[in-house]
Amino acid sequence: MLKIRIVPTLLHRDFGLVKGVQFDSRRAVGSAMQAVKVYNLRGVDELVFFDVTATQQGREPDYDLVDDLADECFMPLTVGGGVRTADHVRRLLSVGADKVAVGTAAVDRPEVVGEAAAQFGSQCVVVCIDYRIDDEGRPCAWVRSGTTAADVDPVELARRVEAAGAGEIILQSIDRDGTMSGYDVDTCRRVTDAVGIPVVASGGAGTYDDMVAVLRDGGASAVAAASIFHFTEQTPAEAREHLRTSGFPVRR
Protein backbone atom coordinates (compact mmCIF):
# COMPACT_ATOMS: atom_id res chain seq x y z
CA MET A 1 0.00 0.00 0.00
CA LEU A 2 1.26 3.49 -0.86
CA LYS A 3 2.37 5.59 2.08
CA ILE A 4 0.30 8.61 3.03
CA ARG A 5 2.25 11.83 2.47
CA ILE A 6 2.24 14.98 4.60
CA VAL A 7 3.17 17.90 2.36
CA PRO A 8 3.96 21.36 3.76
CA THR A 9 3.20 24.18 1.32
CA LEU A 10 5.34 27.28 0.85
CA LEU A 11 3.79 30.35 -0.79
CA HIS A 12 6.28 32.82 -2.24
CA ARG A 13 5.30 36.41 -3.03
CA ASP A 14 7.90 38.68 -4.64
CA PHE A 15 10.68 38.55 -2.03
CA GLY A 16 9.61 36.10 0.64
CA LEU A 17 7.18 33.58 2.01
CA VAL A 18 3.65 34.65 2.86
CA LYS A 19 0.53 33.16 4.39
CA GLY A 20 -2.98 34.47 4.53
CA VAL A 21 -6.61 33.49 4.54
CA GLN A 22 -8.67 32.56 1.47
CA PHE A 23 -5.79 33.40 -0.89
CA ASP A 24 -5.26 36.88 0.57
CA SER A 25 -1.64 35.99 1.12
CA ARG A 26 0.11 39.05 2.50
CA ARG A 27 1.40 38.06 5.94
CA ALA A 28 5.17 37.57 5.76
CA VAL A 29 6.41 34.35 7.35
CA GLY A 30 10.13 34.34 6.53
CA SER A 31 12.42 33.20 3.75
CA ALA A 32 11.95 30.23 1.47
CA MET A 33 15.51 29.00 2.01
CA GLN A 34 15.15 29.01 5.78
CA ALA A 35 11.87 27.11 5.53
CA VAL A 36 13.45 24.48 3.29
CA LYS A 37 16.26 23.97 5.79
CA VAL A 38 13.78 23.62 8.67
CA TYR A 39 11.70 21.06 6.80
CA ASN A 40 14.88 19.16 5.91
CA LEU A 41 15.54 18.77 9.63
CA ARG A 42 11.94 17.73 10.22
CA GLY A 43 12.15 15.02 7.57
CA VAL A 44 8.91 15.85 5.78
CA ASP A 45 7.70 13.64 2.95
CA GLU A 46 7.49 16.30 0.23
CA LEU A 47 7.47 20.06 -0.16
CA VAL A 48 5.33 22.24 -2.43
CA PHE A 49 6.56 25.68 -3.48
CA PHE A 50 4.13 28.07 -5.20
CA ASP A 51 5.04 31.47 -6.63
CA VAL A 52 1.65 33.10 -6.06
CA THR A 53 2.24 36.24 -8.14
CA ALA A 54 3.96 34.85 -11.25
CA THR A 55 0.80 34.17 -13.26
CA GLN A 56 -0.87 37.46 -12.35
CA GLN A 57 2.30 39.35 -13.28
CA GLY A 58 2.57 37.47 -16.57
CA ARG A 59 6.07 36.20 -15.89
CA GLU A 60 7.79 32.84 -16.01
CA PRO A 61 8.85 30.92 -12.92
CA ASP A 62 11.94 32.17 -11.11
CA TYR A 63 14.31 29.43 -12.25
CA ASP A 64 17.31 30.81 -10.34
CA LEU A 65 15.38 30.78 -7.06
CA VAL A 66 14.10 27.26 -7.67
CA ASP A 67 17.66 26.16 -8.51
CA ASP A 68 18.92 27.53 -5.19
CA LEU A 69 16.09 25.95 -3.19
CA ALA A 70 16.41 22.58 -4.92
CA ASP A 71 20.12 22.45 -4.08
CA GLU A 72 19.20 22.60 -0.37
CA CYS A 73 16.01 20.53 -0.50
CA PHE A 74 16.52 16.90 0.56
CA MET A 75 12.95 15.81 -0.19
CA PRO A 76 10.82 15.72 -3.36
CA LEU A 77 9.97 19.26 -4.43
CA THR A 78 6.89 20.32 -6.41
CA VAL A 79 7.05 23.78 -7.97
CA GLY A 80 4.20 25.86 -9.40
CA GLY A 81 3.37 29.41 -10.43
CA GLY A 82 3.76 30.97 -13.86
CA VAL A 83 3.91 27.62 -15.68
CA ARG A 84 2.29 28.09 -19.10
CA THR A 85 4.25 25.89 -21.51
CA ALA A 86 5.96 22.52 -21.66
CA ASP A 87 9.25 24.38 -21.93
CA HIS A 88 8.58 26.01 -18.56
CA VAL A 89 8.11 22.51 -17.17
CA ARG A 90 11.36 21.36 -18.78
CA ARG A 91 13.32 24.27 -17.34
CA LEU A 92 11.95 23.72 -13.81
CA LEU A 93 12.81 20.04 -13.94
CA SER A 94 16.28 20.90 -15.21
CA VAL A 95 17.00 23.14 -12.20
CA GLY A 96 15.89 20.54 -9.67
CA ALA A 97 12.11 20.40 -9.34
CA ASP A 98 10.87 16.83 -9.01
CA LYS A 99 7.31 17.68 -10.06
CA VAL A 100 5.79 20.74 -11.69
CA ALA A 101 2.33 22.06 -10.86
CA VAL A 102 0.18 23.58 -13.59
CA GLY A 103 -2.81 25.67 -12.50
CA THR A 104 -4.25 28.43 -14.67
CA ALA A 105 -2.74 26.95 -17.84
CA ALA A 106 -4.61 23.68 -17.24
CA VAL A 107 -7.78 25.68 -17.92
CA ASP A 108 -6.55 28.27 -20.43
CA ARG A 109 -4.19 26.02 -22.39
CA PRO A 110 -5.07 22.43 -21.43
CA GLU A 111 -2.80 21.03 -24.12
CA VAL A 112 0.15 22.00 -21.89
CA VAL A 113 -0.68 19.14 -19.54
CA GLY A 114 -0.62 16.60 -22.35
CA GLU A 115 2.53 18.01 -23.92
CA ALA A 116 4.39 17.97 -20.61
CA ALA A 117 3.21 14.46 -19.76
CA ALA A 118 4.25 13.17 -23.18
CA GLN A 119 7.71 14.70 -22.93
CA PHE A 120 8.56 14.16 -19.27
CA GLY A 121 6.11 11.55 -17.95
CA SER A 122 2.87 11.87 -16.03
CA GLN A 123 4.65 11.24 -12.74
CA CYS A 124 6.10 14.76 -12.72
CA VAL A 125 3.01 16.64 -13.99
CA VAL A 126 0.70 17.91 -11.24
CA VAL A 127 -2.43 19.99 -11.78
CA CYS A 128 -3.50 22.36 -9.02
CA ILE A 129 -7.26 22.88 -8.95
CA ASP A 130 -8.25 25.90 -6.86
CA TYR A 131 -11.96 26.24 -6.20
CA ARG A 132 -14.63 28.12 -4.27
CA ILE A 133 -18.17 27.20 -3.27
CA ASP A 134 -20.58 29.56 -5.06
CA ASP A 135 -23.73 31.18 -3.66
CA GLU A 136 -25.78 28.14 -4.67
CA GLY A 137 -23.49 25.74 -2.86
CA ARG A 138 -21.72 24.43 -5.96
CA PRO A 139 -17.93 24.13 -6.24
CA CYS A 140 -16.41 26.16 -9.08
CA ALA A 141 -12.78 26.21 -10.19
CA TRP A 142 -10.94 29.54 -10.09
CA VAL A 143 -7.69 30.55 -11.78
CA ARG A 144 -5.03 33.31 -11.56
CA SER A 145 -4.42 32.81 -7.85
CA GLY A 146 -8.13 32.68 -7.08
CA THR A 147 -9.04 35.96 -8.81
CA THR A 148 -10.99 34.66 -11.83
CA ALA A 149 -13.81 32.12 -11.99
CA ALA A 150 -13.24 29.39 -14.58
CA ASP A 151 -16.88 28.26 -14.83
CA VAL A 152 -16.06 24.56 -14.50
CA ASP A 153 -16.77 22.09 -11.72
CA PRO A 154 -13.59 20.76 -10.06
CA VAL A 155 -14.77 17.20 -10.73
CA GLU A 156 -15.07 17.83 -14.46
CA LEU A 157 -11.72 19.62 -14.52
CA ALA A 158 -10.13 16.73 -12.65
CA ARG A 159 -11.44 14.27 -15.22
CA ARG A 160 -10.10 16.42 -18.06
CA VAL A 161 -6.60 16.76 -16.67
CA GLU A 162 -6.37 13.07 -15.82
CA ALA A 163 -7.35 12.24 -19.40
CA ALA A 164 -4.74 14.73 -20.65
CA GLY A 165 -1.99 12.95 -18.71
CA ALA A 166 -1.68 14.57 -15.28
CA GLY A 167 -0.20 12.24 -12.68
CA GLU A 168 -1.53 13.98 -9.60
CA ILE A 169 -3.99 16.67 -8.51
CA ILE A 170 -3.62 19.20 -5.70
CA LEU A 171 -7.19 20.11 -4.74
CA GLN A 172 -7.16 23.49 -3.01
CA SER A 173 -10.19 24.97 -1.27
CA ILE A 174 -9.91 28.75 -1.46
CA ASP A 175 -12.71 29.18 1.08
CA ARG A 176 -10.84 27.15 3.70
CA ASP A 177 -7.32 28.32 2.89
CA GLY A 178 -5.62 29.55 6.05
CA THR A 179 -8.75 29.15 8.19
CA MET A 180 -7.62 25.95 9.97
CA SER A 181 -11.33 24.96 10.01
CA GLY A 182 -10.89 21.53 8.43
CA TYR A 183 -10.67 20.28 4.85
CA ASP A 184 -13.60 20.28 2.44
CA VAL A 185 -14.13 16.54 2.74
CA ASP A 186 -17.25 16.38 0.55
CA THR A 187 -15.67 18.01 -2.52
CA CYS A 188 -12.52 15.96 -2.05
CA ARG A 189 -14.59 12.76 -2.06
CA ARG A 190 -16.38 13.81 -5.26
CA VAL A 191 -13.04 14.36 -6.97
CA THR A 192 -11.34 11.21 -5.69
CA ASP A 193 -14.34 9.13 -6.76
CA ALA A 194 -14.09 10.61 -10.27
CA VAL A 195 -10.39 10.01 -10.98
CA GLY A 196 -7.83 7.28 -10.54
CA ILE A 197 -4.78 9.44 -9.88
CA PRO A 198 -3.65 10.64 -6.43
CA VAL A 199 -5.39 13.69 -5.00
CA VAL A 200 -3.62 15.90 -2.47
CA ALA A 201 -6.13 17.69 -0.23
CA SER A 202 -5.22 21.28 0.57
CA GLY A 203 -6.85 24.13 2.47
CA GLY A 204 -8.15 24.06 6.04
CA ALA A 205 -5.87 21.80 8.08
CA GLY A 206 -6.12 22.84 11.72
CA THR A 207 -5.67 19.58 13.61
CA TYR A 208 -4.30 16.14 12.97
CA ASP A 209 -7.85 14.82 13.05
CA ASP A 210 -8.68 17.09 10.09
CA MET A 211 -6.06 15.13 8.17
CA VAL A 212 -7.56 11.83 9.29
CA ALA A 213 -11.01 12.95 8.14
CA VAL A 214 -9.99 13.93 4.60
CA LEU A 215 -7.90 10.79 4.17
CA ARG A 216 -10.56 8.45 5.53
CA ASP A 217 -13.76 10.11 4.32
CA GLY A 218 -12.45 12.24 1.45
CA GLY A 219 -10.30 9.58 -0.18
CA ALA A 220 -7.22 11.81 -0.40
CA SER A 221 -3.83 10.23 -1.01
CA ALA A 222 -1.92 12.99 0.75
CA VAL A 223 -2.51 16.12 2.81
CA ALA A 224 -1.00 19.52 2.16
CA ALA A 225 -0.84 22.06 4.97
CA ALA A 226 0.73 25.40 5.80
CA SER A 227 -0.85 27.45 8.61
CA ILE A 228 -0.97 24.49 11.01
CA PHE A 229 2.83 24.30 10.82
CA HIS A 230 3.49 28.05 10.67
CA PHE A 231 1.20 29.27 13.44
CA THR A 232 0.70 26.40 15.91
CA GLU A 233 2.92 24.04 17.88
CA GLN A 234 1.84 21.09 15.73
CA THR A 235 4.56 19.46 13.62
CA PRO A 236 4.83 17.18 10.59
CA ALA A 237 6.40 14.48 12.77
CA GLU A 238 3.49 14.53 15.21
CA ALA A 239 1.04 14.53 12.31
CA ARG A 240 2.73 11.46 10.87
CA GLU A 241 2.58 9.66 14.20
CA HIS A 242 -1.09 10.54 14.64
CA LEU A 243 -1.87 9.15 11.20
CA ARG A 244 0.10 5.99 11.98
CA THR A 245 -1.81 5.38 15.19
CA SER A 246 -5.05 6.04 13.28
CA GLY A 247 -4.25 3.16 10.96
CA PHE A 248 -2.71 4.88 7.95
CA PRO A 249 0.53 3.69 6.34
CA VAL A 250 3.14 6.41 6.72
CA ARG A 251 6.87 6.70 6.18
CA ARG A 252 8.75 5.93 9.40
pLDDT tens digits, 207-233: 999 999 999 999 999 999 999 998 999
- Give pLDDT, residue 29: 81
Interior angle at CA 62, CA 166 and CA 124, nearest 5: 20
* pLDDT for res 166: 98
3-state helix, strand, coil in the chain (%, to 5): 35, 25, 35
Residue 139 φ/ψ, nearest 5 degrees: -70, 140
Q: Is the pLDDT of residue 109 over 90?
A: yes
For residue 76, with 0-12 CB atoms within 10 Å meaning exposed, 13-18 middle and 19 or more buried, which class applies? Answer: middle
What is the DSSP code string of 102-160?
E-HHHHH-THHHHHHHHHH-GGGEEEEEEEEE-TTS-EEEEETTTTEE--S-HHHHHHH
pLDDT score recorded for residue 110: 92
Average pLDDT over residues 137-158: 94
pLDDT band at 1 (very low <50, low <70, confident <90, very high): low
Between these two residues, 5 and 22, which has the higher pLDDT value? 5
Name the CATH architecture for the domain at 5-245.
Answer: Alpha-Beta Barrel (3.20)
For all residues of the chain together, what is the average pLDDT? 95
Q: Is the pLDDT of residue 239 over 90?
A: yes
| pLDDT score for 252 | 78
Model pLDDT, residue 182: 97
Give the pTM: 0.96
Q: Where are the domains of the chain?
A: 5-245
pLDDT single digits (tens) 197-208: 999 999 999 999
Grade residue 145 by pLDDT with cuts at 50, 70 and 90.
Answer: confident
pLDDT, tens digit, 9 for 90 and up, residues 84-101: 999 999 999 999 999 999
